[in-house]
Amino acid sequence: MSDTNPNELDLSADKMYPLATSILWCAVCVPRAWATARIESEVNSTNPAGTSNGWVVGADAEDTDDCPDDPKRIHVRLWC
């Protein structure tokens, strides 16, 4: 048996984690290496926006932030 908390996120994984969602936007934590198109396709496949354009990565500087938990990851806000 291991002591690992199954709820703890594996931040080194090549995965996306949802951070928050509202009606107009959602935020995710993704590897810094991911291209915008990959972020959008992952979000749209796991959480369809139901709008014609789907979720789109915000273009403003405030829409992207460093991840406080891992320098190799970023937090990105998407709009629908």
Q: Is 28 in the site for Zn ion (CB under 5 A)?
A: no
Binding residues for Zn ion, total number by CB under 5 A:
4
Dihedral, 9, 42, 21, 50 alpha carbons, nearest 10? -150
Q: Is 78 in the site for Zn ion (CB under 5 A)?
A: no
SS3 45: helix
* Cβ contact 57:63 at 8 Å: yes
Q: Is 67 in the site for Zn ion (CB under 5 A)?
A: yes
Calpha distance 18→51 (Å, rounded): 19
Please choose, out of 1-9, 24-32, 35-43, 55-63, the segment that lies near Zn ion by the rule CB under 5 A: 24-32
Q: Which is nearer to Zn ion, 32 or 53 (CB)?
A: 32
In the complex, what is the shortest distance from the CB of residue 72 to Zn ion, in angstroms, rounded to a whole number? 10
